[in-house]
Amino acid sequence: MPTPLQSSDAVVAGPAATRKIRILVVDDSVVIRRFITRILEDDPAFEVVGFAANGAVALVQEARLQPELITMDIEMPEMDGLAAVRALRARGSKAAIIMCSTLTSRGASSAIEALMCGANDYVTKPSGSDSTDGMLDTLRLELIPKIKQFFLRPQSPIPPPVRPALVKPQPVLPVSSASFTPEQRSIVVIGVSTGGPTALLDLLPRLPKTFPLPIAIVQHMPPIFTQQLAERLSAKSAIEVLEGREGMPLLPGRAVLAPGDFHMRLKKTASAVIVTLDQGERENSCRPAVDTLFRSVQQIYGGRSVGVILTGMGQDGLRGVADLRKDGAYIIAQDRASSVVWGMPGAVVEAGLADAVLSLNEVAPAILRLVPKS
């Protein structure tokens, strides 16, 4: 499992930084190593301290150079990226690891496996059909924010449009303090980003096959990756986990994961609540967006919902949580200590919108206390 990197414990990138973030670049392609190095050296917050052409060399370089972050290719000779991640975590390396994956089924599967083994995030490699400048721009736009999320202190959250008067978040509020009883709860909705695959792998297998409510999830991921993640989670869980499809009905004991590059909303029909998908404008720079799903949930279920915001960069979900919370929904936010990045849950907590701020291993038991007995 990844070692959480807390913003308050890390280097602050930017003009006020006292030192640069030390980065090790690992890739068997000389071209990709040059691309990544060029991108990083254009930013004054970073220092590339070394290179490795395979995982075996990366282990030696990591021990010698003590980088704070490693960009790690997956497919390499002698020792691939997956084996390197396992070895680094086994010996206690706390460096953040960002995997570099191709946007293919094989690449997505390997990237998700790496995340399960201890990598912190991933980027997709640009297409070889792009121009050099296009490849650099694509990689820069994806890689730089993903590095800085581990080292930048979080900014004050944007105030939600509706800010009801709320009590200060407590570790766990008794069920009787909620606006609705467990028997009245009708759905669980989850928003998650960086560190999400590992978080979901911890949470969903703790739920019984007889879980009485449907679950809808937005995990920020591109196409192909979400299908691979859903299959991996379903294989490890008693409940069914599926990538969302147009018209798919919500069912008790089924978790539906928003597909990459599609917003997922819920729609009530005469016979069921179903999934609808669209490729509307990005929200919070995301598609799928947590806010998009949560708004649709609020329109159908209102306060009969349980909302969960787990580890992730940014503030996606903040406005959707505000909408749910004013109707009486119960909101759980993952705590700082167990989050890989405390951006999304931190924004909810700082806005005073969380009923409970919990360690990851406490989230599933809390959900089970809030829903009807299975």
Type of residue found at 297: V
Residue 10 has which token pair? 């890390």
CA distance 352 to 361: 22
Instruction: Identify the active-site residue in 7, 93, 110, 193.
Output: 193
Is residue 340 within 8 Å of residue 313, measured between CB atoms? Answer: no
> Are 339 and 310 within 8 A, CB to CB?
yes
> Is 121 an annotated catalytic residue?
no
Residue with tokens 């086994």: 90
238 contacts 374 by C-beta, under 8 angstroms: no
* Residue 77, token pair as written in the block: 């000779």
327 in catalytic set? no
By CB neighbour count within 10 A (0-12 exposed, 13-18 middle, 19+ buried), where does 91 fall? exposed
Beta bridge partners of 333: 309, 357
Amino acid at the residue 172: V
What are the CA-CA distances from residue 217 to residues 44, 189, 192 (Å)? 37, 6, 8
Sign of CA dihedral 71, 76, 79, 82: positive
> Which structure tokens are listed for 330?
């119960």
Catalytic residue among 27, 121, 316, 323: 316
- Give me the sign of the Cα torsion angle 257, 345, 160, 331: positive
Write down the catalytic residue from 73, 80, 93, 220.
220
Active-site residue list: 193, 220, 316
